[in-house]
Structure 1
Amino acid sequence: MKLKKFGISLVCIDGEKVAMGVDNYIVWKEILHQQGYRTAVGVALEFEDPREVFELLILSIERAGYRPVRYVDGNS
């Protein structure tokens, strides 16, 4: 299975959620850089295993000082 694309969505946009998103984005880029991925704007990341994406996302959320939760959007 190839993961074509993924995204991070903030469930509710307000000042606090935007700050959380920025915090997570900064840590996400640091983790990707440490793992050897290119993090330049416009670079499409390729992962061997789709689970790796989610493991790294969860790691970045936790390192940013937040707790990941499961949210399923039925509109996707």
Structure 2
Amino acid sequence: MPPPPHLRGVNESVNMPVLRLEMHPGRTLEQKRAFVQEATRVTVDTLQCPLESVEIVITEISRDAWAKGGKLRSEG
């Protein structure tokens, strides 16, 4: 399928959105799968980019490696 007219001749690197999500561990594989499917759909609709160009990186960071307000998240 050819690209839509507004994307013809556009360098792919311009259309390559990368979404990075940082979160605490604990989400299920099903939750992550649902998230990446929905985030990809919204990205394609909003940015008018090819589905195949959307990349999502999920990084899980433990609560003892994340702080807010001067306190580790693991400490409440």
Same fold (TM over 0.5): no
Structure 1 or 2: more strand by fraction: 2
- Give 1 or 2 for the bigger CA radius of gyration: 2
TM-score scaled by length of structure 1:
0.36
